[in-house]
Amino acid sequence: MKEITIRSGRVKDLPQVLELIKELAAYVGLSDQVENSVAQMEVDGFGDNSVYELLVAERDGAILGTSIYYYRYSTWKGKRLYLEDLVVKESERGKGIGKLLFEATMKKTLSEKCSGMMWQVLDTNKTAMDFYKKYNAKFDRAFINYGLESESIREILK
């Protein structure tokens, strides 16, 4: 197998990255939830007020996986890296690509002087949970996620 390179993502990677995101959504049975587009990802990640960064795993110009993250602030812990998605192309799973991406993301956490990193896993994604257990990641049952979609917010604020 040819060498895999882990590097910062570029605008030209976004079409392949969005395909990975859609593949993950299909894997967990939530394809209907993907509303993002390459154009929006370009604005959000490479525009004047970028809100996320990404690493990619690449071999021969093909993007095999990605780690998409951003920084958040915890009033208790300070600056934290939030791993939004760690995705490896289904045909490439089990080859160590996820490990390379995850460990590169951990290094980014330290280089950016974050107090730690955090992420969420769907309770149905046992493969991901097993992956993170190898790193002795802490599982937190105390916090319950809440959210509002922009459509709901508009309706509430009418």
Residues acting as catalytic residues: 132
- The answer to whether the beta carbons of residues 83 and 105 sit under 8 Å apart is yes
Distance, in Å, from the CA atom of 64 to the CA atom of 76, rounded to the nearest integer, reads 36
DSSP helix/strand/coil, 125: coil
Evaluate the CA torsion angle 64, 107, 54, 19 in order and state its sign: positive
Evaluate the CA torsion angle 158, 152, 143, 107 in order and state its sign: negative
Which DSSP symbol is given to 11?
G
Distance, in Å, from the CA atom of 25 to the CA atom of 4, rounded to the nearest integer, reads 24
Name the token pair of 103: 């460990």
Distance, in Å, from the CA atom of 139 to the CA atom of 120, rounded to the nearest integer, reads 9
